[in-house]
Amino acid sequence: MSIKALAATVLLAFLLVPAVPGAEERDPETIVKETTETVLQELRDYDGDIADDPDFVHDLVRREVLPRINMQLVTRFALGRHWNDASEEQREDIREEITTLLIRTYSQPLLEYGGEEVAYRSARVDEDRGRASMRVEVEQRDGPAIPLTYQFRKHDRDGWQVYDVVVEGVSLVTNYRDGFSSEIRRSGVDGLLERLRERNRRGETEL
Protein backbone atom coordinates (compact mmCIF):
# COMPACT_ATOMS: atom_id res chain seq x y z
CA MET A 1 0.00 0.00 0.00
CA SER A 2 1.33 3.45 -0.89
CA ILE A 3 2.32 5.97 1.75
CA LYS A 4 -0.43 8.26 0.45
CA ALA A 5 -3.05 5.61 1.04
CA LEU A 6 -1.49 4.88 4.41
CA ALA A 7 -1.61 8.53 5.40
CA ALA A 8 -5.20 8.97 4.32
CA THR A 9 -6.57 5.95 6.08
CA VAL A 10 -4.47 6.26 9.22
CA LEU A 11 -5.38 9.88 9.71
CA LEU A 12 -9.04 9.29 9.02
CA ALA A 13 -9.07 6.61 11.67
CA PHE A 14 -7.29 8.87 14.13
CA LEU A 15 -9.54 11.85 13.88
CA LEU A 16 -12.86 10.12 14.34
CA VAL A 17 -14.53 9.40 17.67
CA PRO A 18 -17.88 7.91 18.59
CA ALA A 19 -20.73 10.37 18.92
CA VAL A 20 -21.95 10.49 22.52
CA PRO A 21 -25.58 11.57 22.93
CA GLY A 22 -25.85 14.48 25.32
CA ALA A 23 -22.11 15.16 25.36
CA GLU A 24 -20.82 18.67 24.88
CA GLU A 25 -20.44 19.30 21.18
CA ARG A 26 -16.87 19.53 19.93
CA ASP A 27 -15.71 21.35 16.85
CA PRO A 28 -13.80 19.54 14.08
CA GLU A 29 -10.40 20.89 15.13
CA THR A 30 -10.83 19.69 18.71
CA ILE A 31 -12.01 16.29 17.50
CA VAL A 32 -8.95 15.94 15.29
CA LYS A 33 -6.39 16.98 17.89
CA GLU A 34 -7.77 15.15 20.91
CA THR A 35 -8.50 11.91 19.14
CA THR A 36 -5.28 11.83 17.18
CA GLU A 37 -3.28 11.89 20.39
CA THR A 38 -5.54 9.33 22.07
CA VAL A 39 -5.38 6.76 19.28
CA LEU A 40 -1.69 7.26 18.58
CA GLN A 41 -1.04 6.50 22.22
CA GLU A 42 -3.24 3.40 22.05
CA LEU A 43 -1.18 2.10 19.15
CA ARG A 44 2.11 2.92 20.88
CA ASP A 45 0.98 1.13 24.04
CA TYR A 46 -0.03 -2.05 22.22
CA ASP A 47 1.87 -4.98 23.70
CA GLY A 48 3.34 -6.92 20.79
CA ASP A 49 3.45 -6.61 17.04
CA ILE A 50 0.23 -4.93 15.98
CA ALA A 51 0.61 -6.38 12.48
CA ASP A 52 -0.08 -9.80 13.99
CA ASP A 53 -3.39 -8.78 15.53
CA PRO A 54 -5.82 -7.70 12.79
CA ASP A 55 -8.81 -8.38 15.05
CA PHE A 56 -7.62 -5.66 17.43
CA VAL A 57 -7.31 -3.20 14.56
CA HIS A 58 -10.66 -4.16 13.05
CA ASP A 59 -12.32 -3.56 16.41
CA LEU A 60 -10.53 -0.22 16.70
CA VAL A 61 -11.86 0.84 13.32
CA ARG A 62 -15.41 -0.23 14.15
CA ARG A 63 -15.28 1.55 17.49
CA GLU A 64 -13.50 4.76 16.59
CA VAL A 65 -14.10 5.33 12.88
CA LEU A 66 -17.51 4.22 11.76
CA PRO A 67 -19.66 6.13 14.27
CA ARG A 68 -18.26 9.41 13.00
CA ILE A 69 -18.53 8.77 9.27
CA ASN A 70 -21.83 9.72 7.69
CA MET A 71 -22.17 6.54 5.67
CA GLN A 72 -25.53 7.59 4.25
CA LEU A 73 -23.95 10.73 2.80
CA VAL A 74 -20.87 8.85 1.59
CA THR A 75 -23.12 6.37 -0.21
CA ARG A 76 -25.28 9.09 -1.74
CA PHE A 77 -22.30 11.10 -3.00
CA ALA A 78 -20.55 7.96 -4.24
CA LEU A 79 -23.60 6.96 -6.28
CA GLY A 80 -24.01 10.50 -7.60
CA ARG A 81 -26.81 10.82 -10.14
CA HIS A 82 -27.39 7.07 -9.91
CA TRP A 83 -28.74 7.53 -6.37
CA ASN A 84 -32.16 8.17 -7.89
CA ASP A 85 -31.90 5.00 -9.97
CA ALA A 86 -31.42 2.80 -6.91
CA SER A 87 -34.24 1.47 -4.77
CA GLU A 88 -34.21 1.94 -1.00
CA GLU A 89 -33.16 -1.69 -0.61
CA GLN A 90 -30.30 -1.28 -3.09
CA ARG A 91 -29.10 1.89 -1.36
CA GLU A 92 -29.03 0.14 2.00
CA ASP A 93 -27.27 -2.92 0.60
CA ILE A 94 -24.64 -0.73 -1.09
CA ARG A 95 -24.15 1.24 2.13
CA GLU A 96 -23.51 -1.99 4.02
CA GLU A 97 -21.01 -3.21 1.43
CA ILE A 98 -19.17 0.14 1.42
CA THR A 99 -19.01 -0.02 5.22
CA THR A 100 -17.44 -3.47 5.09
CA LEU A 101 -14.99 -2.27 2.46
CA LEU A 102 -14.01 0.77 4.55
CA ILE A 103 -13.39 -1.28 7.68
CA ARG A 104 -10.89 -3.42 5.82
CA THR A 105 -9.40 -0.49 3.91
CA TYR A 106 -8.78 1.52 7.08
CA SER A 107 -7.53 -1.48 9.04
CA GLN A 108 -4.74 -2.39 6.63
CA PRO A 109 -2.66 0.79 7.03
CA LEU A 110 -3.17 0.76 10.79
CA LEU A 111 -1.59 -2.69 10.82
CA GLU A 112 1.41 -1.08 9.11
CA TYR A 113 1.63 1.91 11.47
CA GLY A 114 5.26 2.86 12.02
CA GLY A 115 5.18 5.93 14.23
CA GLU A 116 4.17 8.57 11.70
CA GLU A 117 3.42 11.92 13.34
CA VAL A 118 0.71 14.45 12.58
CA ALA A 119 1.00 18.20 12.09
CA TYR A 120 -2.17 20.26 12.45
CA ARG A 121 -2.52 23.10 9.98
CA SER A 122 -5.85 24.88 9.74
CA ALA A 123 -9.58 24.48 10.18
CA ARG A 124 -12.40 26.28 8.43
CA VAL A 125 -15.87 26.16 9.92
CA ASP A 126 -19.05 27.57 8.40
CA GLU A 127 -21.68 27.15 11.10
CA ASP A 128 -24.42 28.71 8.99
CA ARG A 129 -24.01 26.11 6.26
CA GLY A 130 -23.05 23.29 8.61
CA ARG A 131 -19.80 22.58 6.80
CA ALA A 132 -16.18 22.46 7.85
CA SER A 133 -12.77 21.27 6.74
CA MET A 134 -9.60 20.42 8.65
CA ARG A 135 -6.13 20.37 7.13
CA VAL A 136 -3.40 18.17 8.54
CA GLU A 137 -0.10 16.78 7.33
CA VAL A 138 1.47 13.38 7.86
CA GLU A 139 5.18 13.76 8.49
CA GLN A 140 7.35 11.23 6.65
CA ARG A 141 10.83 10.16 7.60
CA ASP A 142 11.94 9.69 4.01
CA GLY A 143 9.96 12.27 2.06
CA PRO A 144 7.86 15.42 2.11
CA ALA A 145 4.85 15.68 4.37
CA ILE A 146 1.56 14.55 2.86
CA PRO A 147 -1.33 17.05 3.09
CA LEU A 148 -4.84 15.84 3.84
CA THR A 149 -8.12 17.66 4.19
CA TYR A 150 -11.10 16.22 6.02
CA GLN A 151 -14.53 17.41 4.97
CA PHE A 152 -17.24 17.61 7.63
CA ARG A 153 -21.00 18.09 7.65
CA LYS A 154 -22.94 19.02 10.78
CA HIS A 155 -26.12 17.20 11.77
CA ASP A 156 -28.62 18.07 14.47
CA ARG A 157 -28.46 14.65 16.09
CA ASP A 158 -24.88 13.52 15.50
CA GLY A 159 -22.96 16.79 15.34
CA TRP A 160 -19.95 17.03 13.03
CA GLN A 161 -19.32 14.00 10.84
CA VAL A 162 -16.77 13.30 8.13
CA TYR A 163 -18.06 12.53 4.66
CA ASP A 164 -14.89 12.82 2.57
CA VAL A 165 -11.10 12.95 2.78
CA VAL A 166 -8.94 14.67 0.17
CA VAL A 167 -5.31 13.62 -0.30
CA GLU A 168 -3.23 16.02 -2.39
CA GLY A 169 -6.35 17.22 -4.16
CA VAL A 170 -7.80 13.74 -4.76
CA SER A 171 -11.18 13.04 -3.17
CA LEU A 172 -12.02 9.59 -1.79
CA VAL A 173 -15.72 10.05 -2.58
CA THR A 174 -15.00 11.26 -6.11
CA ASN A 175 -12.86 8.18 -6.73
CA TYR A 176 -15.72 6.01 -5.52
CA ARG A 177 -18.21 7.86 -7.72
CA ASP A 178 -16.06 7.45 -10.82
CA GLY A 179 -15.67 3.73 -10.22
CA PHE A 180 -19.32 3.21 -9.33
CA SER A 181 -20.53 5.14 -12.36
CA SER A 182 -18.42 3.03 -14.72
CA GLU A 183 -19.71 -0.19 -13.19
CA ILE A 184 -23.34 0.97 -13.27
CA ARG A 185 -23.03 1.91 -16.94
CA ARG A 186 -21.75 -1.60 -17.67
CA SER A 187 -24.06 -3.69 -15.55
CA GLY A 188 -26.53 -1.52 -13.66
CA VAL A 189 -26.97 -0.93 -9.94
CA ASP A 190 -27.31 -4.66 -9.27
CA GLY A 191 -24.03 -5.20 -11.09
CA LEU A 192 -22.30 -2.67 -8.83
CA LEU A 193 -23.73 -4.34 -5.76
CA GLU A 194 -22.52 -7.75 -6.87
CA ARG A 195 -19.07 -6.33 -7.60
CA LEU A 196 -18.85 -4.87 -4.09
CA ARG A 197 -20.02 -8.14 -2.56
CA GLU A 198 -17.43 -10.08 -4.52
CA ARG A 199 -14.65 -7.70 -3.45
CA ASN A 200 -15.68 -8.12 0.17
CA ARG A 201 -15.89 -11.91 -0.12
CA ARG A 202 -12.33 -11.93 -1.43
CA GLY A 203 -11.11 -9.54 1.24
CA GLU A 204 -9.99 -6.97 -1.31
CA THR A 205 -9.64 -3.25 -0.57
CA GLU A 206 -9.80 -1.89 -4.11
CA LEU A 207 -13.04 -1.28 -5.99
Structural domains of the chain ordered from first start: 3-202 (3.10.450.710)
Exposure string of 109-129, with b = 16+ CB inside 10 Å and e = fewer, is bbbebeebebeeeebebeeee
Average pLDDT, 10 consecutive residues per value, the chain (207 residues): 53 49 67 73 85 86 79 96 97 95 79 81 93 89 85 89 88 93 96 96 80
Query: For the chain, how many residues are written?
Result: 207
- In the prediction, which pLDDT does 8 show? 56
Model pTM above 0.85: no
- In the prediction, which pLDDT does 83 show? 97
- Distance CA(56)–CA(207), nearest Å, equals 24
- In the prediction, which pLDDT does 18 show? 43
- Distance CA(147)–CA(32), nearest Å, equals 14
Q: Is the dihedral of CA 166, 170, 67, 57 positive or negative?
A: negative
